C-alpha cells in the first residue's frame, strides 16, 4: 500500500467538479485537500497520486513544483507564519474525466501585514499566474512593485515587519527584462 493512498482516495471522492482549472485553490472543500509537512513529502504525494489514477509521474514537473512551493514555504517561515505546511488540492473537470491537482502552501498569518502576506505569494523565482493574481489582490500592480515596497519597508521596519523580497527581483535571469534590485536589497 502507498503511504498516502487512503488520503488520495478520500480526496478523489470529495474532489469538486469544476468547469476550468483555476489559478488559485478552490476555497473550502477541505476533504479534497491533503497536507504534508515537507517538500519531499509533497513530491511523494504527487507521485503517488499519479500511480493511483494510473498516470505517469513527470519527474521534471514534480521537481519544479516542489522547488516553487518550497520557496513559498521558506517565505512563510521568514515572516514568522505558523503551522506552515504543503497542500495538494484535487479536483475533476466537468467536461472530462481527468483529474487535476493544485499544490500550495498553507500557513496561519495572524498579525502579519498585507505586504508580508503578499510577499509570500510573490517570493518564488518564477511566480505563477495565481501568485501574481494574489499579489494584485493585495493592491500591488506587479511583483516588481511589491519588491520595491518590500525593500523600502525593510529598510525602515525590518525588525518588526520584515517582508521577503521576491527572488525574481533579486536576480537578473533575463538581462534587461526584470529590474535588478539586488544592490538595493543587500
Q: What is the pLDDT along the chain (186 residues), one digit of tens a residue?
A: 799 999 998 888 888 776 666 655 555 557 788 999 999 999 999 999 999 988 889 999 999 999 999 999 999 999 999 999 999 988 876 655 577 788 889 898 889 999 999 999 999 999 999 999 999 999 999 999 999 999 999 998 867 789 999 999 985 443 333 444 443 333
N-term to C-term CA, the chain: 49
Residues 179 and 130 occupy one common structural domain: yes
Angstrom distance (rounded) from CA 34 to CA 162 = 30
Best CA proximity match to 79, nearest among 153, 176, 183: 153
CA distances from 146 to 55, 118, 142 (A): 39, 8, 6
Q: Number of folded domains in the chain?
A: 2
Residues 175 and 140 occupy one common structural domain: yes
Task: Give exposure, 25-42, as e/b (b: 16+ Cβ within 10 Å).
Answer: beeeeeebbbbbeebebb
- For the chain, the residue count is 186
Q: What pLDDT is attached to residue 44? A: 95
Give the number of C-alpha atoms closer than 13 A to the C-alpha of residue 23, restricted to the C-beta side.
10
Beta bridge partners, 91, equal: 100
**Cβ atoms of 66 and 87 closer than 8 Å:** no
Structural domain containing residue 26: 1-109
Q: Which of 92, 109, 126 is the last residue of a domain?
A: 109
Amino acid at each position: 500500500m502507498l503511504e498516502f493512498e487512503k488520503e488520495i482516495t478520500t480526496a478523489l471522492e470529495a474532489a469538486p467538479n469544476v468547469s476550468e482549472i483555476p489559478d488559485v485553490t478552490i476555497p473550502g472543500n477541505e476533504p479534497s485537500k491533503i497536507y504534508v509537512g515537507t517538500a519531499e513529502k509533497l513530491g511523494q504525494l504527487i507521485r503517488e497520486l499519479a500511480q493511483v489514477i494510473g498516470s505517469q509521474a513527470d519527474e521534471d514537473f514534480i521537481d519544479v513544483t516542489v522547488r516553487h512551493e518550497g520557496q513559498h514555504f521558506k517565505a512563510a517561515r521568514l515572516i514568522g507564519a505558523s503551522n506552515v505546511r504543503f497542500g495538494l488540492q484535487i479536483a475533476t473537470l466537468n467536461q472530462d474525466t481527468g483529474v487535476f491537482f493544485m499544490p500550495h502552501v498553507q500557513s496561519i498569518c495572524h498579525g502579519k501585514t498585507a505586504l508580508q502576506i503578499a510577499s509570500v505569494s510573490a517570493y518564488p523565482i518564477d511566480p505563477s499566474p495565481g501568485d501574481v493574481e494574489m499579489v494584485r489582490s493585495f493592491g500591488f500592480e506587479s511583483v516588481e512593485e511589491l519588491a520595491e515596497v518590500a525593500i523600502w519597508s525593510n529598510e525602515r521596519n525590518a525588525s518588526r515587519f520584515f517582508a521577503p523580497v521576491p527572488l525574481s527581483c533579486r536576480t537578473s535571469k533575463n538581462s534587461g527584462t526584470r529590474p535588478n534590485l539586488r544592490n538595493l536589497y543587500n
